[in-house]
A and B are shown apart, each in its own frame.
Chain A
Amino acid sequence: MIEEEVIHFLIVVFPIYMAAFTLYAVRAVKGPTIPDIVLALDAMTYDLAAFLAVLAIFFRSPILIPTAIVLALWVYALDIYVAKYLESKEMGG
């Protein structure tokens, strides 16, 4: 009983996530400056991590959860790299 209810709820949730990702992607492609592009990618990827956790429940595959952790960490690294590049115009460690 719980199973059917959860699966139906998740099926309703998916299109809203897809609409949000589309809007973020439009901003990431259009974005006039570099910080705009990185900010849109940033928000989109954190939401993608949440979406992966929801997908893991839908497909009943626990292997999708570590992927979400790695995704969150990588997009934080992207933020810090781009911020450092913008501030001092170099990528050195």
Chain B
Amino acid sequence: MEESMINLALVGLGEIMVAVGVISDLIAALGMLRFPNFFVRLHAATVGTIWGAFLPLVGASLIAAGSEFLGQYRWFMSGGAIVTAILILILAPAGSHALARAAYRSKSAEVRPKSVDHLREFLKKEGGEESA
């Protein structure tokens, strides 16, 4: 009896996490489609990777841990989902940061809603001194 209560709690918590994650996923996809340029779309990508991928993976691991109908392999599924979640938590910000830096430095995407760009002036000054 107690065990089934624990399983029910695990499954309920996991389902809440998956539901929040999938709604954030939809919101992030809408933002990715509607936002005007690359540096604004980075915000949508953040919502889509942390809230939309990390949270449902933790939720899936909780559901797998609480579902006895999956048999003995449910612990493997639960652990694997947690490992994937931690990998995404580390890799997704690093990857999008590298991409944003490269897009800014190579000027392949313009920074449109801006009033002043100190980094560009700094880079220009630094590059000029190096070449001189």
A residues in contact (CB < 8 Å) with B? 2-3, 5-6, 9, 13, 16-17, 19-24, 26-27, 33-36, 38-40, 42-43, 46-47, 49-50, 53-54, 56-57, 60, 62, 65-66, 68-69, 72-73, 75-76, 79-80, 82-84, 86-87
Q: Which residue of A lies closest to B19 (CB)?
A: A13
Please tell me which one of the listed residues A6, A38, A68, A84 contacts residue B67 in the complex, with CB atoms under 8 A apart: A6
Most buried by B among A13, A34, A83: A83
Interface size on B, residues (CB 8 A): 62
In the complex, are the beta carbons of B96 and A2 less than 8 A apart? no
Q: How far is the CB of B6 from chain A (nearest CB, A)?
A: 11
In the complex, are the beta carbons of A16 and B84 less than 8 A apart? no
Residues of A within 8 A of B73 (CB): 62
Q: How far is the CB of B55 from chain A (nearest CB, A)?
A: 8
Q: How far is the CB of A46 from chain B (nearest CB, A)?
A: 4
Interface residues of A, dominant DSSP: helix
Residues of A within 8 A of B26 (CB): 16, 19-20, 23
A82 vs B24: C-alpha distance when bound (angstroms):
27
In the complex, are the beta carbons of A46 and B49 less than 8 A apart? yes
A54 vs B60: C-alpha distance when bound (angstroms):
6
Q: Which residue of A lies closest to B25 (CB)?
A: A20
Q: A2-B67, A17-B22, A34-B108 are in contact. Are A53 and B61 (CB under 8 A)?
A: yes
- Binary CB contact string for chain B from 1 to 26 against chain A (1 if under 8 A, 0 otherwise): 00010011001000100110111011
In the complex, are the beta carbons of B84 and A23 less than 8 A apart? no
Residues of A within 8 A of B69 (CB): 2-3, 60
Q: Which residue of B lies closest to A22 (CB)?
A: B29
Q: How far is the CB of A32 from chain B (nearest CB, A)?
A: 8
Q: Which residue of B lies closest to A85 (CB)?
A: B102
In the complex, are the beta carbons of B28 and A39 less than 8 A apart? no
In the complex, are the beta carbons of A24 and B96 less than 8 A apart? no
Q: A65-B77, A79-B96 are in contact. Are A35 and B103 (CB under 8 A)?
A: yes
